């Protein structure tokens, strides 16, 4: 179970780092499509707070890792509960 939760946290790291690289490399002259912002907010929930407050990339990565680890805990608990009910 710990391994799976660690995998969830690593996935959260790569998602946040990927968005950080994308927005750093995106052309500032060309406006980003709203669907890109919606997808970023969906996959990286700390981006919602980043719209209102300045958040460093490092904080965003750590927060996203923690969020994904918590989601992983919830999924593992549900998986165990549903596995025992059969």
CB-neighbour burial class of residue 17 (10 A; exposed 0-12, middle 13-18, buried 19+): middle
Say if CB 29 and CB 47 are below 8 A apart.
Answer: no
The pLDDT score that the predictor gives to residue 63 is 94
The pTM for the full model equals 0.82
DSSP secondary structure code for residue 30 in this structure = S
**Sign of the dihedral through C-alpha 77, 82, 85, 86:** negative
The pLDDT score that the predictor gives to residue 31 is 79
**Rounded distance, CA 19 to CA 29, Å?**
18
Residues 4-18 have pLDDT tens digits of 999 999 999 999 999
Of the pLDDT bands very low, low, confident and very high (cuts 50, 70, 90), residue 84 is low
């Amino acid at each position: 179970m710990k391994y799976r939760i660690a995998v969830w946290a690593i996935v959260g790291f790569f998602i946040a780092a990927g968005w950080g690289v994308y927005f750093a490399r995106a052309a500032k002259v060309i406006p980003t499509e709203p669907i890109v912002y919606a997808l970023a907010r969906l996959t990286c929930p700390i981006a919602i707070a980043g719209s209102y407050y300045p958040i460093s990339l490092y904080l965003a990565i750590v927060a996203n890792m923690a969020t994904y680890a918590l989601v992983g805990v919830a999924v593992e608990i549900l998986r165990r509960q549903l596995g025992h009910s059969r």
